[in-house]
Chains A and B, each alone.
Chain A
Amino acid sequence: MEMKLDPRTKLFMVLIVSTIVMMSATTPLLWAVRILITLIPLVLLVAEKKYSSALKFFLLYVTALVVNFVVLVNSDGGIVVSLLTGYCGIVVQFMPSVITAWYFIRTTKTDEFISAMQKMHVPDGLTISLAVVMRFFPTIAEEYRHINDAMKMRGIVLGGGNVVKMVEFRMIPLLFSCVNIGDELSAAAVTRGLGGTVKRSSVVDLRLTVKDIFMMALFLSAAILFIAVKYIR
């Protein structure tokens, strides 16, 4: 099934889900809404063929839910139980926004993102910084992997038992290489006309379709329902 949403819709979903996770669900109805808005981005991930991340998120979320509702409700005290409660509580509470953000980042191309931001009249300076950040995540991961390899060869993965060293050894080479890459990246981008005074054009023709409007309406009503039940009644 083809299910390509507009980046603006995805951003809206991120916004709504982040709002909802900040409010605790107190009634079964609210729990249902919460679970629904978590399942939708999961289904969308599957529709975009990101099977493995969808499955991992799904398993993690379901496990946390089950532990939270079935196992922990009927048990009493104990250090393991309280640790589990805390851990699962965090997963259940914040996982929805992690999933939605992941969905947004993994399925939006730089180009689409920039034109979506332009259509919303966001200033170029902000748009481009955000686009670079999105572009930079995989680079940081790649660099980090190299550094980790180097640390394994030196036998200093644990920093010789010193936590400060452990962080320092990772961060210093990482910062050096990210600064270098960032510098070269912007030099390459400005020679190709980034930052000009002419209005940037785009080959991506973004249009909100019925799917987008339906999705936005669904998420908006979820948020309204949440607020209504919790604060107005």
Chain B
Amino acid sequence: MNEDIINIDHVSFCYKGASKGLLNDVSLKIRKGETVLLCGASGSGKTTIIRLVNGLIPHYYSGDLQGDVTVAGRDIRNTELYDLAGVVGTVFQNPRSQFFSIDTDGEIVFGPENIGLPPEEIKKRFADVKDEMQLQELLGRSIFGLSGGEKQRIACASVSALLPEVMLLDEPSSNLDIKAMNDLSNAVARWKGQGKTVIISEHRLWYVAPLVDRVIYMENGRIAHEWTGEEFRSLGKQKIKELKLRPVEFDPNETADTADASVSEDAVVIRDMYFSYNEKPHVIRRRKFSDYDEKDLDLNIPELRLPKGKVIAVVGHNGTGKSTFFRGVCGLLKRCTGTITADGKVYKGKERLRLCYMVMQDVNHQLFTDSVENEVLLSMEEEDKGRCEEILDSLGILEFKDKHPMALSGGQKQRVAVASAIASGAKLLLFDEPTSGLDYSHMEKVGSLLRKLADSGHTILVSTHDPELIAESCDYILKIEDGKVESLTRK
């Protein structure tokens, strides 16, 4: 049990074309059967270590690699990626881009087919994985109809089917809700029980913290701290905070409902918002949504009063209608009915687009021009360079004025999107999971940005699965369930 399965020996690495090295003289030995957590800020080298072990460095991402990496007796440099497939398995961060097939069954057998196993053996493994991970209800489905959590379960299953000795998980929970994170935690526990070596790189720690044997803390491409699981779990909240890590324990009380909020004061009011993806057949006149049965509606909000100038967290499981709600509020859903009243003015139909602005989860979708300044000017009805500079300055991105938005970091891009939202004069800002995949200090920054926007009179709706963000930056919690408002509570 005590032999080393992974040996990273004095490794330095620098991506091709990058001036700064991402790893500096890192040495790390991992024993067979160990469960290891890699933590630390974004860009500290966690992902690079994962890529060293699965061979994507140097075989897929090229760069300057010094030192030796050995995995299960194989020198990574001289081992082809396809020879590693049965030895090392990787679950990636983004569920949308790790599927090769378009159906779940095909995805699970994809790996075993690639390494040329006989069909009977593949069928046997398929059946084993299905039973072990309780996938019955997910089989035979289209990948495109799955929620993020379901996709990640299929990803785990398809890696499992290759029976690798080493499992790597690269920020696998970034897009998951709390229930799906528990599923993922079960998968890790199962692999651990089977004696597999598991390495997890992660920002959200609570769901894996109880399982890990060892914790490696990375900082600027070096291993800065190392704890046993026991030591790590007893570090205490204060120390974890100093290390800029997210909480190790999940405290449901922090987000617990206190009192139902009745918003009588200044409010943004949403009325009669109904929508269904499956419209009833009609010949000439469309049936009104109010005639629909409740269960046929994907959005069913007779009245909702949102406190003005506050940050409101929107919570609910994956696939429960949060994004439909957001698109409906913004006026992006074609037949979605309803009005929004703000500052005594009623916005109907497409007018809602002028009141609302959504900062999307993938901000790359909403950056269109070749410089940050143009991006903001594009949103203004009349170009006003003075005001543009003011907005950029208030968000701390004035220095990037002439840069191409795509050349900025994720957090900076988000700020550019916010800048164009402010420039458009939107009063109701919606953020779709703005902190997914962010480390603690970046999450803090987003949190203070939300606060600042609210203090300047904007009403903020933010959909999130991060209890930390809710605890630190939100005033109210709006719970959505099956397209209906379940509760609006003051935090």
Contacts and interface: CB of A to CB of B under 8 A. Distances in A.
Chain A partners chain B = yes
Interface in A17-63: none
Contact of B366 (A173, A181, A203, A205): A173
Contact of B113 (A109, A143, A187, A201): A201
A194 B82 contact: yes
Given A194-B82, A201-B118, A152 B101 contact: no
Interface string A159-179: 000000000110011001100
Nearest to A177: B364
Contacts of B96: 139, 142, 181
A193 B80 CA distance: 9
A193 B82 contact: yes
A142 B144 contact: yes
A184 B366 contact: no
A196 B112 CA distance: 12
Interface residues of A, number: 50
A150 interface: yes
A225 to B, nearest CB: 36
A152 B332 contact: yes
Contacts of A188: 90, 92, 97-100
Contacts of A189: 100
Contact of B92 (A146, A150, A153, A184): A184
A135 B107 CA distance: 12
Contact of A185 (B90, B98, B330, B358): B98
Contact of A191 (B88, B99, B112): B88
A150 B116 contact: no
Contacts of B364: 173, 176-177, 180
A199 interface: yes
Contacts of B158: 192
Nearest to A154: B379
Nearest to B370: A172
Find the residue from A109, A150, A195, A205 having the highest chain B CB count within 10 A. A150
Nearest to B379: A154
A88 B84 CA distance: 56
Find the residue from A154, A177, A205 having the highest chain B CB count within 10 A. A154
Nearest to A141: B144
A109 B110 CA distance: 12
B378 A192 contact: no
Contacts of B38: none
B84 A191 contact: yes
A198 B365 contact: no
Interface stretch (B119-127, B233-241, B448-456, B464-472): B119-127
A207 interface: no
B114 A187 contact: no
Find the residue from A132, A191, A194 having the highest chain B CB count within 10 A. A191
28 contacts: A109-B101, A110-B100, A143-B365, A146-B360, A147-B366, A149-B358, A152-B353, A154-B366, A154-B420, A155-B353, A177-B362, A177-B364, A184-B92, A185-B98, A185-B100, A187-B92, A188-B97, A190-B60, A191-B85, A191-B88, A192-B162, A193-B114, A195-B81, A200-B116, A201-B122, A202-B113, A203-B122, A205-B119
Given A110-B102, A153-B357, 6 more contacts: A109-B101, A168-B368, A186-B60, A187-B56, A194-B114, A198-B116
